[in-house]
Amino acid sequence: MKSVKTFLLIGLWVLVQECVKCHGGEETSVQPKHVNPCCYYPCQHWGICVRHGLVRYECDCTRTGYYGENCTIPEFWTRIYELLKPSPDVMHYILTHFHWLWDIINQTFLREWLMRVVLTVRASLIPSPPTYNSKYDYMNWEAYSNNTYYMRILPPVPVDCPTPLGTKGKMQLPDPKLLVEKFLLRRKFRPDPQGTNLMFAFFAQHFTHQFFKTHNRLGLGFTKALNHGVDAGHIYGDNLARQLMLRLHTDGKLKYQIIKGEMYPPTVAETKVNMSYPPSVPPDQQMAIGQEVFGLLPGLSMYATLWLREHNRVCDILKTEHPTWDDEQLFQTTRLIIIGETIRIVIEEYVQHLSAYLLKLKFDPALLFNSRFQYQNRIAVEFNQLYHWHPLMPDSFLIDGTEIPYSHFIYNTSILVHYGVEKLVQAFSTQQAGQIGGGHNIHRVVTKVAEAVIKESRELRLQPFNEYRKRFNLKPYKSFIEFTGDKELAKELEELYGDVDGMEFYPALMLEKTRSGAIFGESMVEMGSPFSLKGLFGNPICSPEYWKPSTFGGQIGFDVVNSASLEKLVCLNTKWCPYVSFQVPLPGSPHHQQPPHAEL
């Protein structure tokens, strides 16, 4: 009897080892009675791993287009699709070359057809409704209903895995400070080859902080931005009490102060709104803004001032058109217009610049009205991690011929008023930002933020970078040299991580080899754009119920939304029109100047 038991135990051991081998595990890294088979990420092509007992698992391949034990056998139509589908690099090359072809396409119906294809393909990569959050690694009602959490694209790494990221890599991850100092810290400023400028950098920071609001008091994985999308909360506040303190309660307008004959955000002393300023800045010098941290940088205060002026300008337009409307209706309708303007600028100029596509992107919600599309959105923790683009920041700031170091730039409330919006726009539009990808380009002032992002990802147990590559239909990297394109960097990373399948999400995004002449690598584009486009077109104002003139106060308000641009945002709210763009002017081109409030 004893020999039979021994034989059975040996048989079980051999079976487990064979399972480990077929899923790419290492024999020495696991103990059979403790192994969670889902730690090997055996289920491919979006299949879901369900553990049974101690060492068994099952892959749920429902609606993945694949079948088999690990969801690896393509169905007939999946085979056809895979055969015809070009790789992301080929698609990127086509979309960024052949000017003559795109000049023709952008003037025909093909532009709208291609835009619809881009939207449906990208948006389908983001689960809606949400599937996971940071508390659970399985589907449940809480993940759907609890808006206080960021959602997650992939569930957390199981807690009982042999290594921090599953089964691959070393038992202990590298020190975050070491990673930042060794691979991310700037050695010499590397400008972005796409010509991205600081106007873009501050817009990115200003725009995203309406939905990236980690609620640290509750813990990692929680958010204060409960609307999970573009709601202009960075202008109006993320709760009703704050909104009411910022409102003038007359003609729908926001409170303001007049300095040197120009409109600026009101003071904290007047509004009693809480802002994150150091104690050295008195309340009568603190500007009260919807987002409490926007006193940090003059670039953020500049955008807050522009949107304040735009809100009050639109209120005047609606008041003239609808003299019977009360303060509340004027305010609420103007807010919808501001949200619409924001989305149009983001898609047609911001995303357009990032993509470098020659296809002219178009903000037209009607493109999706005949498609299966859900008008809801939840911000993912992976999107939050991905969007830490601190390499954009320069070594110092050049404004009106003066070089300003960080020590005199941060929390300096006088810069905005001293120079005025026009000169800041001119300065930020003509100063080049840094390249995000490729490593070694984060200024020392913000390295602590990068360290915090790495620590956060570990506490939230984000899956390895290659698992996210597969989730977004990208081929996983087979080696560090393939990943980086740099032998020395690849060697250093291999020494620290041991295996490319054990590479962490955020450091990998920052260190991945960049595309030729691009601001970052393949993964940042292929993962970031689905989040962005789903969040923008998933906004309620883009739905058939909302997207009509009456929502925006009639055709006059609808026209404001449909003609919005970065240039109009600036030039309709300033005394004179500076050069304004998300890209530095081409060499040799004069800075564009227009008379005040010229016809645009």
Do 139 and 131 touch, CB atoms closer than 8 A? yes
3-state SS, residue 141: helix
Q: DSSP secondary-structure letter at 501?
A: G
> Is the Cβ–Cβ distance between 322 and 552 less than 8 Å?
no
**Which one of 45, 206, 209, 388 is the catalytic residue?**
209
486: CB partners within 8 A, 6+ apart? 513
Give the whole-angstrom CA distance, residue 308 versus residue 330.
15
Could you give the residue ranges of the DSSP H alpha helices within 544-585?
Answer: 555-562, 566-571
Nearest to 394 by CA among 432, 423, 428: 432
Residue 56, helix vs strand vs coil: strand
> Whole-angstrom Cα distance, residue 428 to residue 304?
15
The CA distance from 425 to 422, in Å, is 5
Out of 387, 468, 497, 579, pick the active-site residue.
Answer: 387
Residue 197's SS3 state is strand
Q: How far apart are CA 473 and CA 82, in angstroms?
A: 11
Strand segments (E) across 7-67: 48-52, 56-60, 66-67
Active site residue 387: yes
Identify whether 129 is preceded by a cis peptide bond (ω within 30 of 0): yes
Q: Round to whole Å and give the CA distance between 116 and 110.
A: 10
3-state SS of 202-268 is HHHHHHHCCCCCECCCCCCCEECCCCCCCCCHHHHCCCHHHHHHHECCCCCCECCEEECCEEECCEH
For the annotated catalytic residues, the residue numbers are 209, 387
